[in-house]
Amino acid sequence: MLNIKGVNKVKLLHALHDHAMLRTNLEVMFERGKVGNPIPSPPFDTFMAPQAVTGPIETYCGYFIGCDLSGDTVNPGRFDAQYGSGAFKRVLALQYLW
């Protein structure tokens, strides 16, 4: 469990979404054997984000999140399993640079 007390949850969700989008696009381009334009995807929905962070989030705007950001702690296990060990913690660390 990681402490997210005091973190702006909407900004955190946005950062998790962006990380997921980047990793997904890079993986798909690598599998195709070429680098090119990113895969079209829905943009981050700033209107729905405040509601989304009030409970568990399986996916958001087409990307896997797999976390519940509603409390003061979060289990990053599913996000890390999808995007690499420590991925959630790295995204969280970037929040302090904003």
Domain map of the chain by residue range? 2-31+47-95
The DSSP symbol for 57 reads E
Mean pLDDT computed over every residue of the chain: 88
HSE-up of 6 (CA within 13 Å, CB side)?
Answer: 2
pTM for the full model? 0.87
Confidence check: pLDDT of 98 > 80: no
Residue 24 has pLDDT above 70, yes or no: yes
| Residue 66: strand, helix, or coil | strand
- The answer to whether 3 touches 72, Cβ cutoff 8 Å, is yes
Q: Sort strands 73-74 and 2-3 into parallel, antiparallel or unpaired.
A: antiparallel
Alpha carbon distance 62, 87 (integer Å): 18
Percent of the chain with pLDDT over 70: 83
How much of the chain exceeds pLDDT 90, in percent? Answer: 70
Whether the CB-CB separation of 84 and 8 falls below 8 Å is answered with no
More confident residue, 66 or 62: 66
Q: Are strands 2-3 and 63-68 parallel, antiparallel or unpaired?
A: unpaired
Averaged pLDDT, 84-94: 93
